[in-house]
Amino acid sequence: MTTESRRSFIRLALTSMAGLGCLPYARAGIIPMSSDVVIIGAGMSGLAAAKDLVAKGKGVILLEAQSNIGGRTVTDRSLGLPLDLGASWIHGINKNPISGIANSLNISTFPTNYDSIQRYDFDGRTITDAEDSLVDANFDGLMAVASKAQRQAKTDKSLGSAINGALSLRTYSPFEQRAIQYSINTEIEHDYAADTSRMSLRYWDQDSGFSGKDVIIKQGYSQIINHLAAGLDIRLSTMVQEVDYGSSDVKIKTNNGIFSAKKVIVTVPLGVLKAGAIKFTPTLPAGYSAAISRLGMGVLNKTYLRFPYKFWDEQEQLLGYIGLEPGRWAEWYDFQRITNQPILLGFNAGSFASTLEAYSDEQTVSSAMTVLRAMYGASVPNPIGYKITRWGKNPFSLGSYSYVGIGSSPTDCDTLAKPVNSKIIFAGEHTIKKYIGTAHGAYLSGLNASAKV
């Protein structure tokens, strides 16, 4: 993507941070172009690093290409209530730093029970309890065989190939075949935002998490973001074009002038790094470029549909659809229990999520409604509002979050976390192998980068 085409996605005028507590010198009209540290990106990791550095007495300027902060943590209110387009859940509340912030701010959350689910077959037939148990048992047995293949693998291949090998060991009924593909999609591909055919067999599940319940932030993740941003010097609509670290000070060239600093923290998403949207001078060492190339950037998209009334009568939190075409609108979350409004949230991941991004809004809604009407009948009303994400096409992310692809390994995350010439430090969920692909991983990577400064 050329500089000119990237610029078309943002406002080029420098925007003040009204309501977010800019430093006094910005309000006084003196806008510095140098600082101890410049941070590229005002998402979760950039804000975490900046808040920690400022607390330790460092001068910090954050450069954000978009006209808003938060990065992939976005709370949208276009349907009249807060809905998170990116991060929604705090995954594991015990000792999770995001949970700690939420508790300190008395932020209201709602626990998710993944066992509270009603599944439907492709024709709308409600799955029986016995079939439900069979779905889970078949998936568990399949993954046990795949795990054995993982332990025995001497060279890397795709997780999907190991799963296909396990599937060949016995005969499944047509329903079981559909249900297995449904489980693979909802249990694995939704979590890692990628098809199993693209995921490393050896390392796909190397990450870990915090214990405790997963909870949704009821009024949106923006509460966390705004807390972290308070008091920081953030320059919006400032797109970084080049990072020149060839002299004593690092020069950061942007559409709003050249900034300088002793240290630079780069928190842009992996997808942006993979696209080469920022030029590094000198070129990044080969190990860093190789790590960026090998790690995968996945796509998980959301579609919120707001209806005139609730037409589904289940008490379960989740709705599953075992369709004829794997990976299409397989999982829904009943957002009425969060918002007290008749809203369903549909998920799509991997290749179908990418395919869906080429659809118009009307085509996307129509595709979703075909599934909902298969589940609940032709009388299902049309939605009165919708919100659709297309993270793969978003020029400021070019994907949802990262995963360990074929031929990659957790050491690629470690490589990216090491400072370049003691001047450039990368941060973001793609730099922290233990918590890759998570909001808390992004936050902790920001603190790691701050410590390195």
- Partner residues linked to 386 by β-bridges: 305
Domain 3-72+220-296+405-452 belongs to what architecture? 3-Layer(bba) Sandwich (3.50)
**pLDDT band of 189, cuts 50, 70, 90:** very high
The string of pLDDT tens digits covering residues 79-118 is: 999 999 999 999 999 999 999 999 999 999 999 999 999 9
**pLDDT band of 30, cuts 50, 70, 90:** low
Q: Please, what is the average pLDDT of the chain? A: 93
**pLDDT band of 29, cuts 50, 70, 90:** low
The string of pLDDT tens digits covering residues 312-335 is: 987 899 999 999 999 999 999 999
Closest CA to 329 of 259, 288, 376: 376
Residue pair 61/47 in contact (Cβ under 8 Å)? The answer is: no
Whether the per-residue pLDDT at 19 is higher than 50: the answer is no
**pLDDT band of 345, cuts 50, 70, 90:** very high
Across 9-23, 41-55, 154-168, 392-406, least confident range: 9-23
**Per the omega criterion (within 30 degrees of 0), is the bond before 282 cis?**
yes
**Average pLDDT, stretch 6-35?**
46
The string of pLDDT tens digits covering residues 246-294 is: 999 999 999 999 999 999 999 999 999 999 999 999 999 999 999 999 9
**Average pLDDT, stretch 63-71?**
97
Taken in order 100, 101, 107, 112, the sign of the CA dihedral is negative
Angle at 339 between CA 335 and CA 343, to 5 degrees: 40
Q: What is the pLDDT of residue 35?
A: 96
Q: What percent of the chain clears pLDDT 70, i.e. is strictly above it?
A: 93
Whether the per-residue pLDDT at 15 is higher than 80: the answer is no
Closest CA to 102 of 439, 452, 446, 394: 439
Q: What is the pLDDT of residue 31?
A: 78
Whether the per-residue pLDDT at 14 is higher than 70: the answer is no
Q: What is the pLDDT of residue 205?
A: 96
**pLDDT band of 177, cuts 50, 70, 90:** very high
The string of pLDDT tens digits covering residues 136-145 is: 999 999 999 9
**Average pLDDT, stretch 206-214?**
97
**pLDDT band of 63, cuts 50, 70, 90:** very high
**pLDDT band of 409, cuts 50, 70, 90:** very high
Rounded Cα distance between 319 and 19, Å, is 39
Whether the per-residue pLDDT at 362 is higher than 50: the answer is yes
